[in-house]
Amino acid sequence: MYARKLVVFIAQAITVGLALAFLLTLFWPGLLRREAPSVEVRESAELAALPAGGPVSYAGAVDRAAPAVVNINTAKVVTVKPNPLFKDPIFQKFFGQGQNSPRQRVERSLGSGVIFSDQGYILTNHHVIGGADAIQVFLRDGRSATAKVIGGDPETDLAVLKIDLKNLPAITLGKSERVRVGDVVLAIGNPFGVGQTVTMGIVSATGRSALGINTFENFIQTDAAINPGNSGGALVDAHGNLIGINTVIFSQTGGSVGIGFAIPTSLAKGVMEQIIEHGRPLRGWLGIEAQMLTPELLEAFGLKKGTEGLVITALYRDGPAHKAGVEPGDILVAIDGKKIVDAREVLLVISNHKPGEHVRLDLIREGKPFSVNAVAAERPTPKPRADRG
């Protein structure tokens, strides 16, 4: 009897428990459920609004820019000296003296250029036309003309040509200072002389300098294929606006390996305007050479640790800085109030002054600060760099 009552009690307890669990699950579903840990996910509204992909074709950009990109053929007469063997009397006895006279031959090279204005001004690389005796320009529409050299600048590797043709297509300039790494770019030129060619890539870097290519460097780096013959051609954005002049490639084989450099239009435009106006770029010059301060130099000059500046290592006698009272061993800390910590920066800041302008130099000598005002002279014309093909 007792066992029967116990079984009935247990059955009733189980029934009540199941009923209670049912009611709790029905009215408070989260009470008996173990919640998972909360994870916060942030989604950019701007990213969600971007299109799914880029344009299917860049033909519109090419149609806009390519007519203003020209092929340049140059010819140079080279005198070949005879082999010293030809001067030997025995050799002349058998082969005559005709082999002993110098001979001339014509060297031809190819490059590219960009029409900047419908007046016929073309911008290209200095190394493309350097030393040429004849320059022929070929347009995309089939026309050609003999070009005249207006002027060149070996220090930026830029040159300006002029042709006399009507209805010339001129390139549209873009804002090279707004170019960002990752922007799509197109290189248009005449690689290997095969004819006008377009390659595509992105901007790999901006503001490249200290490469030892030119004196004044501020390159746009791209992986768009640039090969011999592309020099002087156009680097344009995805809308066909010019952002650079293709100049040189980094390669151990002579072919493109995806590292090319272009001179930005912000630099090229200013050089071109000065060449057209003056026949050459006018840059300031003070006649100083300087090097960065090292911990050893700071100790040698008795300067405080952390002092920023450059030590003047050499002066051109009777140059502007020498006349202003600067001496070797002076510490240059600022130019026109701007702190200077890099020797290349000195070159750029001074060259931005026009000849005749005053340049204020803040210096330290024997631990005492002082300032001088130097009158900038015109920067001497450098020796031409070797052609790069």
Q: For the segment 194-204, what is each residue's pLDDT rounded down to a tens digit?
A: 889 999 999 99
Q: For the segment 204-217, what is each residue's pLDDT rounded down to a tens digit?
A: 999 888 787 888 88
The span from the CA of 314 to the CA of 334, in Å, is 17
Is the CB of residue 329 less than 8 Å from the CB of residue 312? yes
Q: Is the pLDDT of residue 221 over 90?
A: yes
Ordered by start, the domain boundaries in the chain are 67-162, 176-278, 284-378
The span from the CA of 389 to the CA of 111, in Å, is 8
Please spell the DSSP secondary structure of 309-342, one letter per residue.
-EEEEEE-TTSHHHHHT--TTPEEEEETTEE---
pLDDT of residue 44: 45
Residues in CB range of 45: below 8 A, 6 or more apart: none
pLDDT of residue 119: 93
67-162 belongs to CATH 3.30.2180.10: no
Confidence of residue 105 (pLDDT cuts 50, 70, 90): confident
The span from the CA of 288 to the CA of 329, in Å, is 11
* Whole-number average pLDDT of the chain: 82
pLDDT of residue 257: 80
pLDDT of residue 388: 47
Mean pLDDT across 70-92: 71
Mean pLDDT across 22-35: 58
- Amino acid letter for position 70: V
- CATH code, 176-278: 2.40.10.10
Extract the tokens encoding 374: 């130097």
pLDDT of residue 90: 60
Q: CATH says 284-378 is which class?
A: mainly beta
pLDDT of residue 46: 47
Q: Which residue has the higher pLDDT, 210 or 143?
A: 143
Residues marked as catalytic: 127, 157, 231
Is the CB of residue 214 less than 8 Å from the CB of residue 158? no
Q: For the segment 302-337, what is each residue's pLDDT rounded down to a tens digit?
A: 777 777 888 998 899 999 999 999 999 899 999 998
Is the CB of residue 196 less than 8 Å from the CB of residue 232? no
Collapsed DSSP state (helix, strand, coil) of residue 67? helix
Q: Is the pLDDT of residue 387 over 60?
A: no
pLDDT of residue 352: 86
Q: Is the pLDDT of residue 165 over 90?
A: yes
Q: Which residue has the higher pLDDT, 336 or 389?
A: 336
The span from the CA of 206 to the CA of 235, in Å, is 13
Q: For the segment 264-277, what is each residue's pLDDT rounded down to a tens digit?
A: 999 999 899 999 99
Q: pTM for this one?
A: 0.74
Q: Which residue has the higher pLDDT, 103 or 307?
A: 307
The span from the CA of 186 to the CA of 201, in Å, is 6
Partners of residue 335 on adjacent β-strands: 338, 361
For residue 30, what are the CA distances in angstroms to 19, 25, 34, 35, 128? Answer: 17, 8, 8, 8, 78
pLDDT of residue 3: 59
Q: Is the pLDDT of residue 29 over 80?
A: no
Domains 67-162 and 176-278 share a fold: yes
Q: Which residue has the higher pLDDT, 50 or 321?
A: 321
Percent of the chain topping pLDDT 90: 48
Mean pLDDT across 215-221: 89
CB neighbour class for 90 (10 Å; exposed up to 12, middle 13-18, buried from 19): exposed
Phi and psi, residue 221, nearest 5°: -100, 140
